[in-house]
Amino acid sequence: MSPAQRHLLHTELAKLLGAGFGIRQAIAVILDTRPPAAQVALLKEADQALAEGKSIAQAFGNPVRVTDLERTVIAAGERGGRLAQAFQHLADYFEMLASARREALQSMIYPTVLLHMGVFVATVPGALMAGRSGASILGSIILWLVGLYLGIALIVLLVRGLLKAAPTNVAVDRWLNRIPVIGKARKSMAMARFTKVYHIGVLAGLSMAEVVSMATEASHSGNIRQAGARLLEKAREGGLLGPFFVASNAFPAAFARSYATAEEAGGLDTDLERWSRLFHEEAARGIKAVAIAVPKVCYVLILIFVVWKILGFYSGYYETLDRLGE
């Protein structure tokens, strides 16, 4: 499912569960509204698992249909009787992703059009001056496009590979976080996931070791996971975690200090809810900034390419005139 579909599904589940519906009743109501096929498949699979006596976390545990974050949040919400709030956390998160995707796609329309115009400019004028046939010119355009699409595909694969490695590779995660605009958005996203799951775990009354384990896993950040391994040791010892947060470079300083004081005051649930909301808003702003910046960078590169080809064309044109004049 797309982020937009996940947002709608979790919003409906949060609404119905918050109104007092049981999980199977909520699934039945949603199925009656004729949702998209991907949602139908997930809901029917979950309903069948629930009918067999499985837990809600197990029913929504298919890794093919459900993300790691969804499984973690749903499991924590079920254990603490906070399912409606857990689904609302997920709804807010996927709404942010869906909004960013829409903005990015809209922002890429003009650069994409310009790119194809650039291919035309790079191919047709020079070919016409050389007296090439229409079929030959068309073949050149197709070759240019194939080359560009392959290049874009390779870049996409490289980016996906780096993003896939970042949750477990500290060096890759830190390198990505240093990229202007993108790095800030990634760090905010990681902290938003971390605090959402941490908040649900605290509300659910889970042990701090379980909460830390789930939250660091959900962060999808190699840097936070590395810090989380040491944090988990402290949690198992039963001591306060605030001093470790303050001493660690993996967490924002303001958050770490706030956590430490909230832990001392016994107000972690309220403090984590506030930070979860703040990091969510910060991540949303960061993603929007990326959605604006990346198309602009692409636009500038494409514009440079087009100008270069135009200058190359006129350079060749004047050279031809010079030769004819001689």
Q: List pLDDT tens digits, range 83-94.
A: 888 898 889 888
Among residues 316, 32, 303, the alpha carbon closest in space to that of 40 is found at: 32
Mean pLDDT, to the nearest integer, of 40-64?
Answer: 91
What's the pLDDT band for 126 if we cut at 50, 70, 90?
low
Are residues 287 and 173 part of one domain? Answer: yes
pLDDT tens digits, 249-278: 889 999 999 999 998 888 888 899 899 889
Query: Alpha carbon of 165 to those of 19, 159, 172, 178: distances in Å?
Result: 40, 10, 7, 16
For the whole model, what pTM was predicted?
A: 0.76
Are residues 54 and 11 part of one domain? Answer: yes
Average pLDDT, the chain: 84
pLDDT over 70 percentage in the chain: 92
What's the pLDDT band for 151 if we cut at 50, 70, 90?
confident
What pLDDT was estimated at residue 129?
A: 65
Are residues 280 and 155 part of one domain? Answer: yes
Are residues 285 and 150 part of one domain? Answer: yes
Are residues 132 and 99 part of one domain? Answer: no
Are residues 188 and 265 part of one domain? Answer: yes
Cα–Cα distance for residue pair 206/79, rounded to 1 Å: 8
Angle at 296 between CA 294 and CA 298, to 5 degrees: 70
CATH number, domain containing residue 40: 1.20.81.30
Sign of CA dihedral 223, 227, 232, 238: negative
What's the pLDDT band for 40 if we cut at 50, 70, 90?
very high
Residue 308 lies in a domain: no
pLDDT tens digits, 201-210: 888 788 888 8
Among residues 16, 19, 52, 18, the alpha carbon closest in space to that of 31 is found at: 16
Query: What are the residues whose beta carbons fall under 8 Å from the beta carbon of 249, sequence distance 6 or more?
Result: 227
Are residues 132 and 98 part of one domain? Answer: no
The torsion region of residue 22 among left (phi > 0), alpha (psi -120 to 50) and beta comes to beta
List, as one string, the DSSP characters of 170-239. HHHHHHHHTSTTHHHHHHHHHHHHHHHHHHHHHHTT--HHHHHHHHHHHTT-HHHHHHHHHHHHHHHHT-
Cα–Cα distance for residue pair 49/66, rounded to 1 Å: 14
What pLDDT was estimated at residue 11?
A: 93
Residue 122 lies in a domain: no
| Contact between residue 74 and residue 86 where contact means Cβ atoms under 8 Å apart | yes
Mean pLDDT, to the nearest integer, of 205-230?
Answer: 87
Tell me the residue type at 2. Answer: S
Alpha helices in the chain (DSSP H): 3-18, 23-32, 37-51, 56-59, 68-79, 83-107, 109-129, 134-165, 170-177, 182-203, 208-218, 222-237, 242-247, 253-265, 268-325
Cα–Cα distance for residue pair 4/38, rounded to 1 Å: 12
In which domain, by residue range, is 270 found? 128-291
Residue 176 lies in a domain: yes
Mean pLDDT, to the nearest integer, of 198-219?
Answer: 86
Residue 9 lies in a domain: yes
Are residues 81 and 137 part of one domain? Answer: no
Domain endpoint, select from 103, 137, 169: 103
Residue 200 lies in a domain: yes
Residue 266 structure tokens = 């016994």
Are residues 138 and 62 part of one domain? Answer: no
pLDDT tens digits, 57-76: 899 988 888 888 888 888 88
Are residues 32 and 149 part of one domain? Answer: no
Residue 263 lies in a domain: yes
Residue 203 lies in a domain: yes
Look at residue 196 and tell me whether its pLDDT is greater than 90: no
Residue 206 lies in a domain: yes
Mean pLDDT, to the nearest integer, of 131-149?
Answer: 79
Would you tell me how many other CB atoms lie within 10 Å of the CB of residue 277?
A: 15
Q: How many domains does the chain have?
A: 2
Look at residue 305 and tell me whether its pLDDT is greater than 60: yes
| Contact between residue 284 and residue 96 where contact means Cβ atoms under 8 Å apart | yes
Look at residue 121 and tell me whether its pLDDT is greater than 80: no
- Rg of the chain (C-alpha set): 26
Look at residue 115 and tell me whether its pLDDT is greater than 80: no
Are residues 258 and 180 part of one domain? Answer: yes
Are residues 178 and 98 part of one domain? Answer: no
